[in-house]
Amino acid sequence: MPPAEIAALYLFRPIKREGREWGTAVVTRKTDEGRLRVYTAKYMLIVRGKDRGQAKVELKEVGLSPAEVLAQVMQAAADRTGDTEPPVEVAPGAWYAE
């Protein structure tokens, strides 16, 4: 995915348990129609033991959304999981030079 097409990244709080860390991010990509393609990026990282540093990453397109409702969708996702904090929105420039 070209960095110039990324509209925003939403980072959910990672979960750490039994020497592993699981995390989820939502990546939104601009379309020509003014909507956003929505992807989930999930990872599992081994942080302890002989396999330390090994990871699995998955990126999957999950929907198409109007930009105006995306913040509400992110808050609803946090509410459904019982997370007390909504995901943190990160501008693409925080990871990619603009």
What is the DSSP code string of 53-97? T-EEEEEEEEEEEEGGGHHHHHHHHHHHHT-SSPPEEE-GGGTS-
In a domain, 86, yes or no: yes
In a domain, 53, yes or no: yes
In a domain, 20, yes or no: yes
State the average pLDDT over residues 50-77.
Answer: 88
In a domain, 9, yes or no: yes
In a domain, 97, yes or no: no
State the average pLDDT over residues 59-77.
Answer: 86
Task: Identify the residue with better confidence: 1 or 42.
Answer: 42
State the average pLDDT over residues 68-96.
Answer: 79
Q: What is the pTM of this model?
A: 0.79
In a domain, 50, yes or no: yes
Q: For the chain, what is the domain count?
A: 1
In a domain, 57, yes or no: yes
* Residue 78: domain span: 3-92
Predicted local distance difference test score (pLDDT) of residue 98: 53
Query: What CA–CA distance (Å, rounded) separates 6 from 24?
Result: 16
In a domain, 98, yes or no: no
| pLDDT digit string, tens, across residues 4-42 | 888 889 988 899 999 999 999 999 998 888 889 999 999
